Amino acid sequence: MPDVSVPPGVVGLLRITALPDPGWQDRWDRILLPMTTKARLLNYMVFSLRHRARISRVGLPVHGIVVLAGPPGTGKTTLAGGLADQAARALDGGPLLFVEVDPHAFPSQLLGESQRTTARLFERTLPDLARRGDPMVVLLDEVESLAVRRTGASLETNPVDVHRATDAVLAGLDHVARDHPNLMFVATTNHRVGVDEAFLSRADLIEELQLPNHDAAIAILRDALAEIVPNDRVVDADLRLVAETCVAVGLDARQVRKLVLRAVISDRDVALRPELLSGADLLAAARDHLA
């Protein structure tokens, strides 16, 4: 399905995509997490979009907010898109609108401007889109820049405007949860302690994504190698050694994948014919990283 145009004059939206989209399948399949975590995320999203409208907000408060937290490079933003795409497939094949918010469009040096812009997003822009009637998933990437943790921020170092903007986010979330049950949020953060406690309290589900352990690093390496190398080219023993190095250095999932690229470009012949990449090349790149 084609992208949906962002309405003219709207501030703070990066893009709107109609899902499902066959090109987005990798965003789900190739982010390697425990299957129980993926199932919980997808089940929650389907439940929220299908049943929230009829559930009492007092009896079972469902705000329609999921938070993906964890270090950079663990796949949070990619997973958010893949999750929305899978939800579109589960909900009779869509269409579902995936709306990406630009958090950097809101902070302002002008007193009150951040608050007004944030309020406009939650009280006008997103509700206007939701009134189309299609299910919507809104990505709040780097949500710590929108919902700043007020108890940890001093008024001397943080403008009053930032505190007011956080208030506007919280009020907007409540407004959307009450009036637009077809809309839900996926928020990502690299810095959970920087997110306001009241925002986290509203979240229905918080999932912590971790740096890859040994088994996960092996799986990620295999997945990346599958793009360029025959299956039998790099043996398991070499992969285990490389994975040990990845864990020892503390590489995130994105860096583990880029280790394959590092190995490829370390030799001109391999760069020209990447199918020649060997386990020795990969080990050398990993040990170079450790050094």
- Asked if residues 135 and 91 have their Cβ atoms less than 8 Å apart, the reply is yes
CA 191 vs. chain centroid, Å, equals 13
Distance (Å, whole) CA 23 – CA 53: 31
For the chain, the domain total comes to: 2
pLDDT at 141 over 80: yes
Q: Do both 198 and 218 map to the same domain?
A: no
Q: Do both 27 and 159 map to the same domain?
A: yes
What residues are paired with 98 via a beta bridge? 17, 137
| pLDDT value, residue 110 | 47
| pLDDT value, residue 163 | 74
pLDDT at 239 over 50: yes
Query: What is the three-state SS of the chain?
Result: CCEECCCCCCCCEEEEEEECCHHHCHHHHCCCCCHHHHHHHHHHHHHHHHHHHHCCCCCCCCCCEEEEECCCCCCHHHHHHHHHHHHHHHCCCCCEEEEEECHHHCCCCCCCHHHHHHHHHHHHHHHHHHCCCCCEEEEECCHHHCCECHHHCCCCCCCHHHHHHHHHHHHHHHHHHHHCCCEEEEEEECCHHHECHHHHHHCCEEEECCCCCHHHHHHHHHHHHCCCCCCCCCCHHHHHHHHHHHHHHCCCHHHHHHHHHHHHCCCHHHHHCHHHCCHHHHHHHHHHHHC
Instruction: Find which of 27-41, 121-135, 159-173 is predicted with most confidence, using mean pLDDT.
Output: 27-41
Task: Pick the closest to residue 77 from 35, 15, 153 (CA basis).
Answer: 15
Give residue 160's pLDDT band: very low, low, confident or very high (50, 70, 90).
low
Residue with the larger pLDDT of the pair 287 and 23: 23
Residue with the larger pLDDT of the pair 289 and 198: 198
Give residue 113's pLDDT band: very low, low, confident or very high (50, 70, 90).
low
Q: Do both 199 and 275 map to the same domain?
A: no
Q: Do both 128 and 223 map to the same domain?
A: no
* Average pLDDT over every residue of 82-95: 92
Instruction: Show the tokens assigned to 199.
Output: 């925002």
Q: Do both 117 and 223 map to the same domain?
A: no
Residue with the larger pLDDT of the pair 188 and 108: 188
Q: Do both 244 and 137 map to the same domain?
A: no
Distance (Å, whole) CA 216 – CA 132: 41
Q: Do both 269 and 137 map to the same domain?
A: no
Query: Is the bond into 95 cis (omega within 30 degrees of 0)?
Result: yes
Q: How far is CA 189 from CA 80, 99, 195, in A?
A: 12, 17, 8
pLDDT at 214 over 50: yes
- Domain boundary residue, one of 148, 176, 208: 208
- Domain boundary residue, one of 208, 234, 258: 208
- The radius of gyration computed from the CA coordinates of the chain, to the nearest angstrom, equals 21
pTM attached to this predicted model: 0.91
* Average pLDDT over every residue of 37-44: 98
Please give the mean pLDDT across all residues of the chain: 89
Percentage with pLDDT > 70 across the chain: 90
Q: Do both 182 and 96 map to the same domain?
A: yes
Give residue 145's pLDDT band: very low, low, confident or very high (50, 70, 90).
confident
pLDDT at 108 over 60: no
Distance (Å, whole) CA 282 – CA 90: 39
Q: Do both 23 and 152 map to the same domain?
A: yes
Q: Do both 174 and 46 map to the same domain?
A: yes
Give residue 41's pLDDT band: very low, low, confident or very high (50, 70, 90).
very high
pLDDT at 156 over 90: no
- Domain boundary residue, one of 208, 229, 245: 208
Which of 101-115, 120-134, 260-274 is predicted least confidently?
101-115
Q: Do both 66 and 171 map to the same domain?
A: yes
Q: Do both 204 and 222 map to the same domain?
A: no
- Asked if residues 16 and 4 have their Cβ atoms less than 8 Å apart, the reply is yes
- Asked if residues 28 and 79 have their Cβ atoms less than 8 Å apart, the reply is yes
Percentage with pLDDT > 90 across the chain: 69
The range of the structural domain enclosing residue 124 comes to 3-208
* Average pLDDT over every residue of 84-88: 97
What number of other Cβ atoms are within 10 A of residue 266's Cβ?
15
Give residue 233's pLDDT band: very low, low, confident or very high (50, 70, 90).
confident
pLDDT at 118 over 90: no
| pLDDT value, residue 95 | 93
